[in-house]
């Protein structure tokens, strides 16, 4: 019975225990599920908060990967293309290298010659304009060649031609043998072999086939400030307006034995005959037969301002400029004090820049005065030396020589705001110096071979357009620098059987360019080339001297090679001479005396 009771109680208790356990399990399960849901909710929340940045990072990484992959693929394409081209270009070499074929040298000389010819053509090619030469005359026929700016119809009568970068003949002066040619800003002047003066260009504005001034036996001309200045063989300086229209209104009455006439010119009075003249923008320098220097203002009315170019302290930048066409003696230059006495200084050559003057004395010293803004006077520029209205000696040149050397100038040139000079030096001090002190002169022809070998060319002043010729483009330079290209020129002399230094016949200076003629007739030019005034077929300025191509002959459209360099001819009747203007360059045939 007791056993039955226990059995029943155990049976009765099983459902209750099972329910309790199920309930506990159910609660536990729901608790775990709630925790799981909570964890998932938290994870979702965290995913929402942190997921976007992670996604962006993944996207950025993927984009970088794609980008680098594309770059790598592009690089492979480039390398493959270049490699394929090189393989194609060198296929014959590679084929022989890989398969062992022997080289075919039977046509080597022919192929090599073709390669050399192509390289030479590429090297010597000139960017010369195709020009049809309408003039049938060759360079053997006297005349006038000209290149450069044509804004004033100085190069061509065709107004469509704005500039001419190669030398072409002016038909109006065919067969002319001239005494002198001068190029101005708006007109030019030519003196024929009889001494008559012709003009051309828009600044003249009349018939160029008729002489402007005839029967005065002229030998040299200059153009300055709208006036033409002409030097006669007798040593007189005549002047008249540049414009043909003004020439009609200009003149002075000249009395004769039976009647009076009107002259088309006026004269600059001087005590001594004048042997040379040189003009700047608004002044002219006169050199008389005694070696004295005079200066005068140019033009038909008083100039606006003095820049010290007259060499007279009374006409400084602070004073009123002198009246035009009145000569004034440069006393401080012409006289020298020595041993408590005043002696005459002999000047051998005078040249003028825009607003400054250079003079070379018989001892080989250079004297300058005028505007020094760019160092044109060979003096360092400051407030006190920007304008120097009195003669000063160029002394900075001594820095370019050894202390034992005695440098002496043998030639000078000037134009624009740039100055040029050629020097020789000697170590034989006593012989050289005592001879000069005794004779008071310096003669280039008496130089020894050693002195001629020391010939050096210098430049200073404005150089922004390459005028200095030293390879540098500078605003201004007061200290003289060597024109190395000209200094290095040498030639074999068959008479002496040795290589000798080539000297200069002279340098002609324009506004911003210069042209040098060597003793062998070669021509080198440098500087500004905006209008083709260098005559090389281009319009690129040159900072160093370069040879000028030879003249175009009839039937020839362009220069084929720079090796066809210009060499000025000399015959028993004439000598070809090159002259530079402000923006033009010309070659004329000078009458031989």
- Map 115-138 to HEC letters: HHHHHHHHHHCCCCCCCCCCCCCC
- Give the tokens for residue 147: 């290149």
Segment 442-448 mean pLDDT: 54
**pLDDT tens readout for residues 227-257:** 999 999 999 999 999 999 999 999 766 666 6
pLDDT of residue 12: 46
Euclidean distance between CA atoms 283 and 536, whole angstroms: 32
pLDDT of residue 69: 84
CB atoms within 10 A of CB 535: 29
Within a 13 Å sphere around the CA of 74, how many CA atoms are in the beta-carbon half? Answer: 6
Comparing CA positions, the residue from 169, 111, 117, 114 lying closest to residue 561 is: 117
Range(s) for CATH 2.130.10.30 in the chain?
142-250+262-268+566-593, 402-547
pLDDT of residue 256: 60
pLDDT of residue 443: 56
For 107, 199, 242, 244, the CA distances from 205, given in Å and listed in that order, are: 64, 9, 9, 6
Say which residue, 257 or 105, is predicted with more confidence. 257
Instruction: Find the length of the chain.
Output: 593
pLDDT exceeds cutoff 60 at 275: yes
Euclidean distance between CA atoms 305 and 322, whole angstroms: 9
Segment 542-560 mean pLDDT: 82
Supply the angle between the helices 91-99 and 2-89 in degrees, to the nearest 10: 110
For 336, 342, 347, 391, 441, the CA distances from 339, given in Å and listed in that order, are: 10, 8, 20, 21, 19
pLDDT of residue 93: 64
Under a CB-based contact definition with an 8 Å cutoff, are residues 373 and 476 in contact? yes
Q: Which of 28-32, 95-99, 338-342, 542-546 has the lowest mean pLDDT?
A: 28-32
Q: What percentage of the chain reaches a pLDDT higher than 90?
A: 60
pLDDT of residue 116: 66
Q: What percentage of the chain reaches a pLDDT higher than 70?
A: 75
Segment 443-470 mean pLDDT: 80
pLDDT exceeds cutoff 60 at 117: yes
Tell whether pTM > 0.85.
no
Phi, psi for residue 257 in degrees, rounded to 5: -65, -40
Euclidean distance between CA atoms 296 and 290, whole angstroms: 18
pLDDT of residue 7: 47
- Give the tokens for residue 572: 């028993």
pLDDT tier for residue 177 given thresholds of 50, 70 and 90: very high
> What DSSP state is assigned to residue 174?
T
10 Å CB burial of residue 131 (0-12, 13-18, 19+) is: middle
pLDDT of residue 467: 97
pLDDT tier for residue 589 given thresholds of 50, 70 and 90: very high
pLDDT exceeds cutoff 50 at 124: no
CB atoms within 10 A of CB 143: 21
pLDDT of residue 226: 97
Name the average pLDDT for the chain.
84
Comparing CA positions, the residue from 404, 433, 303 lying closest to residue 355 is: 303
pLDDT of residue 528: 98
Q: Which CATH number fits domain 142-250+262-268+566-593: 3.40.50.1700, 3.90.550.10, 3.40.50.20, 2.130.10.30?
A: 2.130.10.30
pLDDT exceeds cutoff 50 at 221: yes
Under a CB-based contact definition with an 8 Å cutoff, are residues 568 and 576 in contact? yes
pLDDT of residue 82: 84
Under a CB-based contact definition with an 8 Å cutoff, are residues 568 and 167 in contact? no
pLDDT of residue 14: 46
Q: Which of 65-74, 111-120, 387-396, 483-492 has the lowest mean pLDDT?
A: 111-120
Decide: helix, strand or coil at residue 280: coil
Question: Across the strands, what pairs with 283?
Answer: 297
**pLDDT tens readout for residues 147-168:** 999 999 999 998 899 999 999 9
> What DSSP state is assigned to residue 267?
E
Euclidean distance between CA atoms 391 and 481, whole angstroms: 22
**pLDDT tens readout for residues 5-44:** 444 444 444 444 444 434 444 454 445 455 555 555 555 5
pLDDT of residue 3: 46
Decide: helix, strand or coil at residue 117: helix
Question: Across the strands, what pairs with 343?
Answer: 336
Under a CB-based contact definition with an 8 Å cutoff, are residues 426 and 405 in contact? yes
Q: Which CATH number fits domain 402-547: 3.40.50.300, 2.130.10.30, 3.60.20.10, 3.40.50.620?
A: 2.130.10.30
- Give the tokens for residue 24: 């506990």
pLDDT of residue 96: 62
pLDDT exceeds cutoff 60 at 61: yes
Segment 403-409 mean pLDDT: 81
pLDDT tier for residue 452 given thresholds of 50, 70 and 90: low
């Amino acid at each position: 019975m007791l056993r039955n009771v226990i059995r029943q109680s155990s049976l009765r208790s099983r459902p209750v225990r099972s329910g309790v356990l199920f309930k506990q399990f159910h609660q536990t399960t729901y608790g775990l599920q709630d925790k799981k849901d909570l964890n998932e909710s938290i994870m979702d929340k965290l995913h929402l908060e942190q997921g976007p940045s992670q996604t962006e990072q993944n996207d950025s990484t993927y984009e970088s990967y794609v980008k680098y992959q594309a770059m790598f693929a592009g690089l492979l394409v480039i390398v493959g293309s270049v490699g394929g081209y090189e393989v194609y270009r060198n296929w014959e070499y590679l084929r022989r290298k890989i398969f062992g074929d022997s080289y075919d040298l039977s046509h080597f000389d022919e192929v090599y010659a073709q390669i050399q010819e192509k390289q030479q053509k590429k090297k010597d090619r000139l960017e010369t304009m195709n020009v049809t030469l309408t003039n049938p005359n060759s360079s053997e026929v006297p005349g006038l060649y000209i290149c450069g700016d044509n804004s004033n119809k100085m190069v061509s009568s065709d107004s469509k031609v704005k500039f001419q970068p190669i030398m072409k003949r002016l038909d109006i002066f065919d067969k002319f043998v001239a005494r002198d040619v001068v190029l101005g800003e708006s007109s030019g002047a030519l003196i024929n072999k009889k001494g008559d003066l012709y003009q051309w260009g828009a600044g003249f504005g009349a018939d160029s086939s008729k002489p402007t001034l005839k029967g005065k036996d002229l030998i040299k001309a200059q153009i300055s400030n709208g006036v033409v200045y002409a030097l006669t063989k007798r040593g007189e300086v005549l002047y008249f307006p540049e414009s043909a229209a003004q020439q009609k209104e200009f003149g002075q009455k000249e009395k004769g034995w039976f009647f009076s006439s009107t002259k088309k010119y006026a004269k600059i009075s001087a005590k001594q005959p004048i042997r040379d003249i040189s003009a700047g923008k608004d002044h002219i320098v006169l050199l008389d037969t005694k070696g004295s220097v005079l200066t005068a203002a140019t033009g038909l009315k008083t100039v606006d301002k003095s820049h010290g170019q007259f060499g007279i302290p009374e006409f400084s930048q602070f004073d009123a400029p002198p009246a035009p066409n009145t000569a004034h003696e440069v006393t401080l230059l012409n006289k020298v004090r020595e041993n408590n006495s005043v002696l005459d200084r002999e000047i051998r050559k005078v040249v003028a820049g825009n607003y400054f003057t250079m003079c070379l004395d018989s001892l080989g010293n250079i004297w300058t005065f005028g505007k020094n803004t760019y160092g044109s006077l060979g003096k360092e520029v400051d407030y006190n030396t920007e304008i120097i209205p009195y003669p000063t000696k160029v002394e900075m040149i001594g820095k370019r020589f050894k202390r034992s050397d005695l440098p002496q100038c043998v030639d000078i040139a000037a134009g624009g705001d740039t100055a040029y000079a050629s020097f020789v030096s000697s170590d034989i001090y006593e012989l050289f110096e005592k001879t000069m002190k005794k004779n008071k002169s310096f003669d280039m022809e008496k130089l020894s071979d050693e002195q001629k070998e020391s010939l050096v060319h210098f430049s200073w002043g404005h150089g922004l357009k390459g005028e200095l010729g030293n390879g540098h483009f500078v605003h201004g330079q007061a200290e003289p620098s060597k024109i190395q290209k000209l200094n290095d020129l040498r030639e074999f002399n068959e008479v002496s059987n040795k290589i000798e230094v080539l000297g200069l016949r002279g340098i002609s200076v324009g506004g911003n360019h210069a042209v040098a003629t060597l003793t062998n007739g070669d021509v080198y030019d440098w500087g500004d080339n905006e209008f083709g005034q260098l005559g090389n077929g281009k319009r690129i300025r040159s900072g160093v001297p370069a040879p000028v191509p030879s003249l175009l002959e009839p039937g020839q459209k362009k220069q084929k090679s720079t090796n066809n360099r210009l060499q000025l001819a000399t015959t028993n009747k004439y000598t070809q001479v090159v002259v530079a203007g402000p923006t033009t360059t010309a070659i004329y045939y000078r009458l031989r005396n």
